[in-house]
Each structure stands twice: as structure tokens, then as C-alpha cells.
Amino acid sequence: MTAMLDPTLPAEYEDLRKAVEAFAREEVAPVIGDYYERHAFPYPIVAAMGRMGLFGLPFPSEYGGMDGDYFALCIALEELARVDSSVAITLEAGVSLGSMPVYRFGTDEQKEYWLTDLCKGERLAAFGLTEPGGGSDAGAVNTRAGNVGDSWVINGSKSFITNSGTDITSLITVMAVTARDDDGRAELSCVLVPSGTPGLTVEPGYSKVGWCASDTHGLVFDNCRVPQENLLGERGRGYAQFLRTLDEGRIAIAALATGLAQGCVDECVRYVKERSAFGHKIGEYQAIQFKIADMEARAHSSRLAWRHAAGLLLAGKPFKKEAAIAKLAASEAAMASAREAAQIFGGYGFMNEFPVGRFYRDAKILEIGEGTSEVQRLLIARSLNLV
């Protein structure tokens, strides 16, 4: 008997895909270039995404969510990134890095208090992991959270934290050292820090190569005091919590990267039908056709990879290797396709007014954020038991 895999999306996912596709095309595409050029956060777009329920997609209705799942979130991310990655990463970070740790590891009281506004998109949450001296060594945490009386007192700094400094940011989950054993090994825990807490300083936004309409800041904690009940999950389980968070987030980034790769195809197909050179539409030339064919193949393969990883996640099966494969394949596909799209557009591809110029600037971070390509290769190699 031959097993057949049906690649067609079930109706509820396809309806979501179409709705987000239309939103991205009609509401995001006409205005996002201006936000990008001004390095301005697109509050009206984020509010509209909230009204659509996108920030609540994978959460239950008891917290204001849509009773969906992580696959639905990734569908939305891919469609948004076909038009703009700043908007897509705002959703990705707000859900998979911001709200999801509270949902996965929080107490009933924490979930009830924080998730309702987060699911509506009326507030945003951030995850404070990376530090100035950390990078790929995500476990090299120097930020400290000391247990003083009935409080945690936090000191240290974080870097490159998405959604940490908007006017609607309400919460930052902070990874910190809460103790050390006799051998100096760190006990890592996560602590919830509300925005505006005394001792928390949000540094000026970064001047970034890409994702220029998203919010990214460094954070400084100087005797920042929060109640003991702001501990997220079990003390000492912070490392395991962020590993789970990053594994899921890699699937989401793979979906986002797939959207960028597909957006390159969309833009190039339109352009080559309009642009003429040497008496012919440039789409008639085989050199151009082959470039776009390769771009389409990369987007298709990336889509299969992230959907496979997401399917394993939803089925409750191990997915770490598949998430790493999807993230590696999709991010490198996005970078390669953005480079080729800029080449097809020629001089116009070097202009920010054209989407492919933004795509080119946005693609590189996909090979770095939420685990570099080198880290993904390391994870894949380890899974093969080579030594």
C-alpha cells in the first residue's frame, strides 16, 4: 500500500493564510516602506494585527486567545514576511518569545494577569536572554537575580531585545543567575519584570541594517526589584525553559524566512514581466528564468521543512533536529534569494523604495538570530551521534 502525503492545508489554516495574505497586501504593503525609512514602529499595523487575533493564535480562549496552535502562528508569519519582515518579527517575538514562556511555564495567576492583553496585541512582551558578551553562548549569563527578603533584585544587562521598548511593552522575561554551586556552576532562572519597574533602563534603539520598523533595545538592570512571585516556573529551570523556547522559535523563524524567500519570487515575477532590455521583457531570458526557478525551489523546500518540524511539535514528538534543519535551510534560502532578487532588479534592487531592497537588508539577520547557522549545524551534527 502506498502512503500519500496531502500537502493541501486544512480549511481552517487555508482561511487564515488567505486572510493574512490579504491583510499584508492591502494594509501593510502600501505603508510599511515609510515606517522602515523612518525607523518607526508601526503601531497602527500592530493594533490591526491584534484585532485580527494574530497575537492570540496559539493560545486558548480562556486567556483571550484564538484556540489555535503553533502551526497557525507560523502560517501567519510566512504570509506577513512575504511583504515585510519587521512586522513579522514583531509578531514572532511577541508570541513565541514574549507570551509563550508565560503560557508554558507560568502559574495560573501569572497567565491570567498577563496573557489577556498580550493575546489581544494591546500589550507586548519580550524575552531578555542575550547579553553583550554572550551571543551564540546563550548560557553565558552574567545578569544576577538575588533573593533579598520578599523580592528578587536584578543587576546586569541584555542586548538585542525585540519588543522591549515600545509604548505598549508590558513585560520582559529576564534570564538571570539566581545562585552558584561550590564549583561555580550557575543556577539559571527566569524572572518576570514589568515595564517601568524602577531600576530597569531601556537603552536607545539600535541603528540596524534591517528590520528597521521593528523595536530592538539593550536593557540595563540596576538593583531592579520585583516580587518573589515573579519567578517564572521552577527556580533553576531557566536553562531548560529557554531551550524549549528557542527550539519552538526556530520553527517560527524558518516560517518567516520562507515568507521572505517567497516574497522575493513574488516581486521578481512581477518585475520581469514589466522590465524590458535589449528589445525583450527580461523574463524571456533564460538566465533570469533560472534564477527565479531556483528561488521558487528554495522557498518550496523551506516551506516543507518548517511544516514538517511544526507537525512534529504539534504531535508531541521530538522536533529539535527538524527545527534546526528548517531554520538553517530557510534562513540560507532567504539570504540567497534576496541576493538574487536584488541582482534581477539591478539598480532598483539597491533602492530602499523597492521591497527587494528591504528584503536584502532583512535577510542577513535570519542567519544569526535565534541561533546562528553554525549553531544549527552543530545541533544537527550532534543529533547524528557522530562521536
Supply angle C-alpha 28, 43, 213, rounded to 5. 65
Amino acid at the residue 1: M
Strands 124-128 and 169-180, how do they pair? parallel
Active-site annotation holder among 131, 234, 370, 374: 370
Amino acid (1-letter code) at residue 110: Q
**Sign, Cα dihedral of 167, 173, 179, 181:** negative
The contacts of residue 207 (CB under 8 Å, 6+ apart) are 39
How far apart are the C-alpha atoms of 29 and 42, rounded to whole Å? 12
Exposed e or buried b for every residue in 267-288, given b needs 16+ CB within 10 A?
bbeebbeebeeeeeebbeeeeb
H or E, element range at 175 = strand 169-180
Establish whether 370 is a catalytic residue. yes
SS3 202: strand
Closest CA to 91 of 24, 25, 163, 36: 163
Distance CA 284, CA 173 (A): 53
Q: Which residues are catalytic?
A: 370
